[in-house]
Amino acid sequence: MQAVVNGSTLPVLEIQLGQGETVISAHGELSWMSANVQMSQTTNSGGGKGGLMNSLKRAVGGGGFFLTQYQAQGGPGLVAFAAKVPGHIVPVDVAPGRGVVVHRHGWICGTPGVSPTVALQQTFRGGLWGGEGFVLQRLQGEGRAWVELSGELTRYTLAPGQTMLVHPGHVGMFDEQVQFTITRVPGIANKIFGGDGIFLVALTGPGQIWLQSMPLSGLAHALEPYLARDGAVAGAEGAGIAGIVGGILRG
């Protein structure tokens, strides 16, 4: 198996599969593939951590109940996954005791042995998200995974006990040994006037964290005013854009 990320602003992950080799993705991630690649649905990535319970957790957390498996048959095959928004596609190696936690839309695909499950599901009733949920996925097992992070990336290595407070939308990925908690910003002024809301994610080392500069919810809300221009955007084009942004808003 060979993988390459092509492009810069809107990258594409292309994976060359040898005869019989398999890659597994989240539902709906496929962009294109060669004709000899066979698709099938599965609840288990093959890492021994899948099955019915993890599938139910994924579904409750907003992901798909099934994973999609791609296998090359009759010779080498190609499968490709394009980024959904401007950003980066990052490879990450997962091993027992060395998993990662990613944002809810982050995991694209992985080799058999990498198992995605829900790490955290939190609902905010006000402030930052106005009722939207904050969901994190844990990638564990053994193998390689590919993660999509939006915007530009900033990576920090936290020392033991060192804490970074992060807007939830900017949390891209972090080592599973990094402790994370949802914290409320104190002070009545923050609750009433704080433009950044009152909830932050506290990430405490040791371990690496990857922060993304463009939260999907922020992009959707920035585009939303331009979709109501008194008919300036009409017909199929307007409906298509509205559908895309609506899907991002719904997460």
Q: Which range, of 98-112, 125-139, 172-186, averages the lowest pLDDT? A: 125-139
Is the pLDDT at 62 greater than 60? The verdict is no
Rounded Cα distance between 98 and 138, Å, is 11
Q: What is the pTM of this model?
A: 0.78
pLDDT value for 131 = 42
The residue with greater pLDDT, 106 or 217, is 106
Whether the Cβ atoms of residue 35 and residue 68 lie closer than 8 Å to each other: no
pLDDT value for 104 = 86
pLDDT value for 172 = 96
Is the pLDDT at 158 greater than 90? The verdict is yes
Is the pLDDT at 130 greater than 50? The verdict is no
pLDDT value for 183 = 84
Whether the Cβ atoms of residue 142 and residue 96 lie closer than 8 Å to each other: yes
E-state strands within the chain: 2-6, 12-17, 22-25, 32-33, 37-42, 67-72, 77-82, 87-94, 100-103, 107-110, 114-123, 133-141, 143-150, 153-158, 163-166, 171-175, 179-184, 199-204, 207-212
The residue with greater pLDDT, 171 or 196, is 171
pLDDT digits (tens, 9 = 90+) for 132-153: 457 899 999 999 999 999 999 9
Name the pLDDT band for 249 (thresholds 50, 70, 90).
very low
Name the pLDDT band for 88 (thresholds 50, 70, 90).
very high
pLDDT value for 61 = 47
CA–centroid distance for 3 within its chain: 19
Handedness of CA 98, 105, 203, 121 (dihedral sign): negative
Is the pLDDT at 231 greater than 90? The verdict is no
Report the chain's mean pLDDT, rounded to a whole number.
81
Alpha helices in the chain (DSSP H): 52-60, 188-193, 216-223, 235-250
Cis bond before residue 206 (omega within 30° of 0): yes
Query: Could you report how far apart the first and last alpha carbons of the chain are, in Å?
Result: 32
**Number of neighbouring beta carbons within 10 Å of residue 71:** 19
Name the pLDDT band for 180 (thresholds 50, 70, 90).
very high
Q: What average pLDDT score do residues 47-54 get?
A: 52
Q: Hey, what domains does the chain have and what are their CATH numbers?
A: 2-214 (3.60.160.10)
pLDDT value for 112 = 93
